């Protein structure tokens, strides 16, 4: 029987174990026994806390999303200006625990699962919309709403692309380098749209 008061500890241990096992194997085709063994508990206890592997995997994705949301909120509070807030969002996306090889592998496995699982797809859509909304909110203070949406879409695609390249080992890009590349992309686009706007104003005059 599970010990009283141990449920939060065991649930977190199982979530951490799920991330490690999925990250190591690069697939969601792991068993509850694999995860339970990694967490140091019995499969029966794992089923007691989560009911099924699918429920545990859903909670694991939610855990990652909560981490991102909490870190983003905390980081944004410390940023005074719109451009600083954008850089803060990028920094959170590539922070050490999210850009670790195991975590990246787990993210890719979840994206693959989203093609078959509606529950997984919904959670990942929430993440994508939240990232887009956070970027657009600050970008609109620096450019038009149309340009803000275009830059936000490109930024999100760049983040996803850098995660994939890191996972495949096709590029030795580090977390710091990824932050700089993405930040440079935003800076260049803001400058480009600013020049276009100034040119249009000149023609109108």
56-86 tens-digit pLDDT: 988 999 998 999 999 999 999 888 899 999 9
Report the pLDDT value the prediction gives residue 43, as an integer from 0 to 100. 93
With a cut of 50, say whether residue 205 has pLDDT above it: no
Using the predicted structure, report yes or no on whether residue 47 has a pLDDT greater than 90: yes
Cα separation, 72 vs 95, whole angstroms? 11
Mean pLDDT for the stretch of residues 81-98: 92
Q: Which domains, from first to last, does the chain contain? A: 53-204 (1.10.357.10)
pLDDT at 25: 87
Q: What is the 3-state secondary structure (H, E, C) of the chain?
A: CCCCCCHHHHHHHHHHHHHHHHHHHCCCCCCHHHHHHHHCCCHHHHHHHHCCHHHHHHHHHHHHHHHHHHHHHHHHHCCCCHHHHHHHHHHHHCCCCCCCHHHHHHHHHHHHHCCCCHHHHHHHHHHHHHHHHHHHHHHCCCCCHHHHHHHHHHHHHHHHHHHHHHHHCCCCCCHHHHHHHHHHHHHHHHHHHHHHHHHHHHHHC
Q: Is the pLDDT of residue 3 over 90?
A: no
Residues 166-184, mean pLDDT to the nearest whole number: 85
pLDDT tens for each residue of 126-166: 999 999 999 999 999 999 999 999 999 999 999 999 998 88
Residue-wise pLDDT tens digits, 108-122:
888 888 888 898 999
Chain segment 180-201, per-residue pLDDT in tens: 999 999 999 999 876 655 455 5
Residue 101: pLDDT band with limits 50, 70, 90: confident
- Model pLDDT, residue 202: 46
């Amino acid at each position: 029987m599970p010990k009283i008061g141990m449920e939060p500890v065991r649930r977190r241990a199982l979530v951490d174990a799920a991330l490690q096992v999925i990250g190591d194997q690069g697939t969601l085709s792991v068993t509850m026994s694999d995860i339970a063994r990694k967490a140091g508990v019995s499969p029966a206890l794992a089923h007691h806390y989560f009911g099924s592997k699918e429920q545990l995997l859903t909670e694991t994705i939610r855990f990652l999303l909560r981490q991102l949301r909490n870190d983003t909120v905390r980081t944004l509070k410390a940023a005074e200006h719109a451009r600083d807030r954008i850089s803060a969002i990028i920094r959170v996306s590539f922070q050490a625990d999210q850009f670790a090889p195991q975590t990246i592998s787990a993210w890719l496995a979840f994206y693959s699962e989203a093609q078959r699982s509606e529950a997984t797809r919904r959670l990942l859509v929430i993440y994508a919309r939240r990232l887009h909304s956070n970027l657009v909110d600050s970008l609109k203070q620096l450019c038009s709403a149309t340009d803000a949406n275009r830059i936000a879409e490109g930024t999100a695609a760049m983040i996803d692309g850098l995660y994939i390249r890191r996972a495949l080992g096709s590029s030795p890009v580090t977390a710091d380098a990824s932050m700089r590349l993405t930040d440079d992309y935003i800076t260049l686009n803001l400058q480009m749209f600013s020049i276009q706007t100034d040119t249009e104003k000149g023609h109108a005059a």
